[in-house]
Chain A
Amino acid sequence: MSSIGYESWAVDLADVGPIYPFQGSEMLMVALGVIFWLGWHRIQFVRESEHLKRAKQRALDHEKVQQSVERY
């Protein structure tokens, strides 16, 4: 029993194909990957929106803004 389909390398390499674990479940792995990717965008978008909203309110302090502008 081996997750990659080979328990030893006593093989003719001409007969060897994929050597990654859980062959046959590629579609499931891709689906998980796509969920991770889209979920990342969603989380980042929500966090950035909140950040900018808070930053906009704080930026009403003109003295702070002036310091930032002069910092260049």
Chain B
Amino acid sequence: MDGNLNALTTVFTEFYYWVTVVFMFLIHVGFCMYEVGASRRRNHMHTLMKNVMVIPLVTVTFFFFGWWIYWAFPMFPFFGGLDHEMGSGNLPWAQSMGPNAADRITGVFWAAFLLFSWTAASIVSGAVIERIRSSALWVHAVLIGSVWWIIDAAWGWHYDGWMVKFLGYHDAYASGVIHAIAGGYALGVIAVLGPRIGKFAKDGTPRDIPPHNPWMLTIGIFLIYTGFWGFYAACNVPVISPEGIGGQITGTTWTATNIYLAPTSLSGITFNFLMSLSGGLMAAYLVSKGDAFWTFSGGLAGVITASAGNDLYHPVQAMLIAAVGVVIVYRLHFWVERRFKLDDAVGAVAVHGYAGFVGLIIAGFVLWGAPSSPYEGYATVNPLGQFIGAMIMFFGLGFLPAFAVSKIQAAMGVLRIPEEVELEGLDYAEHHAYEEAKEAIIEADKAHLAAKLTPAE
């Protein structure tokens, strides 16, 4: 850290990312509350444990190989080999991957990406509640959290990624690189996993399976909104000079940038986060005729739809794009449910997958011709590039790997819990000790009472 300005910039950047990571933890808290609230009483602990253990499993694998993938894969395998120069500093045995007085950024930057990884895995976790085996979900969590999403980030969410360079792919706040891929992945799993018992009547009509605790869902989704705000900040580089970027920007004005190192500001994205949240809530309220949970989810879907271009949209554009996205997402969810008999227990495929997909395509039209990068020779943003990008995210890296792995798990008989256990409830099956212990301690207390105390006359 040569000089006071560099030292200040480095320490500020370190603290900035650290704060975003703490905020983003609320996303996972929110997902856990939402899932537990949506599940039936007999499956609470299993549902909670399934999502909690996503945290350590994705964390350690993101340390072991996920982070290296981000730095080594921007051109691999279609337009070049592995980037060993950038990758080597981010291998799990590199000296920058630990306490190091010469490096104050790698740990917090790694953690910011890691929290995105948790989110990707947690999105999948919600769609499959009450019937997937935990072991099967945790394999998927590692794959989506530490392999597939981070490959898409290397390709389309990296200043040197081939999708940015050749397609003009623009996805500033991760409509595609987190939400479309995770929604597509969830769709791939539930297509093989099948619906919960009773979800569809004999004539194929879908039944609502009401959440056991609406308030947990409400607080859960509000926590997700809060964490998502931190996520927006985490997607930025907080302060950098044109010299530091080394691209085409002239002059000496320092700026915040998006992940592509193109200029943006916290102020601009704050406008757009709130306006797209509002557009989503308003449209969802109308289209769902005031259904509380679709309205709340619509706020999230609105932000996700606008996220691809929320570094550049006008706030009113962000609001309207969010509203349009939510109407499409809502209609598509029920059409897919009826047509394909798919049980997406928390609407994750719709809120994340469809919203992310639609948001990428809308950004291609609204931002048509805008520079995707501050560097020379990059394609500009365009509808075709965004459409190809959306297909890669949702289907190529999301749906297909999930479908293939789920098929293998189903063939081995390790994907779904037995029907008898699904009816009886996972908590009784896995936590029967609780009931036995409770019974035993009540009996012991009663015996103590009888032996020591005389009842009042």
Instruction: Write the residues of chain A forming the contact surface with B, with a CB cutoff of 8 angstroms.
Output: 13-14, 16-20, 23, 26-27, 29-30, 33-34, 37, 41, 44-45, 48-49, 51-52, 55-56, 58-60, 64-65, 68-69, 71-72
Asked if B98 lies at the interface with its beta carbon under 8 angstroms from chain A, I say: yes
Are A71 and B42 CB-contacts (below 8 A) given A30-B93, A52-B429, A56-B418?
yes
Nearest 10 CB-CB pairings of A with B: A55-B429, A26-B93, A59-B420, A16-B101, A59-B424, A56-B418, A18-B95, A45-B135, A68-B425, A18-B100
Compute how far the CA of A18 lies from the CA of B42 in the bound complex, rounded to whole angstroms: 49
Compute how far the CA of A41 lies from the CA of B98 in the bound complex, rounded to whole angstroms: 25
Count of inter-chain pairs, beta carbons less than 8 A = 99
Counting chain B residues whose Cβ lies within 8 A of the other chain, the interface size class is 35 or more
Asked if B61 lies at the interface with its beta carbon under 8 angstroms from chain A, I say: yes
> How many whole Å from B101's CB to the nearest CB in chain A?
4
Per DSSP, are chain A's interface residues mostly helix, strand or loop, or mixed?
A: helix
Max count, chain A CB within 10 A of own CB: residue among B1, B98, B421: B421
- 12 more contacts with CB within 8 A, not counting A52-B418, A64-B428, are A16-B101, A23-B95, A26-B98, A37-B60, A41-B135, A41-B138, A44-B134, A44-B138, A52-B133, A65-B420, A68-B42, A68-B425
Are A59 and B423 CB-contacts (below 8 A) given A37-B64, A51-B429, A71-B41?
yes
B85-104 near A? 1/0 per residue, CB < 8 Å:
00000001111011111100
Compute how far the CA of A18 lies from the CA of B107 in the bound complex, rounded to whole angstroms: 13
Is B101 a contact of A48 with CB atoms below 8 Å? no
Is A37 a contact of B61 with CB atoms below 8 Å? yes
Are A48 and B42 CB-contacts (below 8 A) given A16-B101, A26-B95, A33-B64?
no
Asked if B430 lies at the interface with its beta carbon under 8 angstroms from chain A, I say: yes
Instruction: Give every chain A residue within 8 A of B212 (Cβ-Cβ).
Output: 72
Is A71 a contact of B64 with CB atoms below 8 Å? no
Asked if B417 lies at the interface with its beta carbon under 8 angstroms from chain A, I say: yes
Is A17 a contact of B102 with CB atoms below 8 Å? yes
Instruction: Give every chain B residue within 8 A of A14 (Cβ-Cβ).
Output: 1
Is A56 a contact of B421 with CB atoms below 8 Å? yes
Q: Which residue of B lies closest to A19 (CB)?
A: B99
A-B contact pairs, 30 of them (CB 8 A): A14-B1, A17-B101, A18-B95, A18-B102, A19-B100, A20-B100, A27-B93, A29-B93, A30-B92, A33-B92, A34-B64, A37-B57, A37-B64, A41-B135, A41-B138, A41-B139, A44-B138, A45-B135, A48-B133, A48-B135, A49-B135, A52-B418, A55-B424, A59-B420, A59-B424, A59-B429, A64-B428, A65-B423, A68-B42, A69-B424
Compute how far the CA of A58 lies from the CA of B429 in the bound complex, rounded to whole angstroms: 9
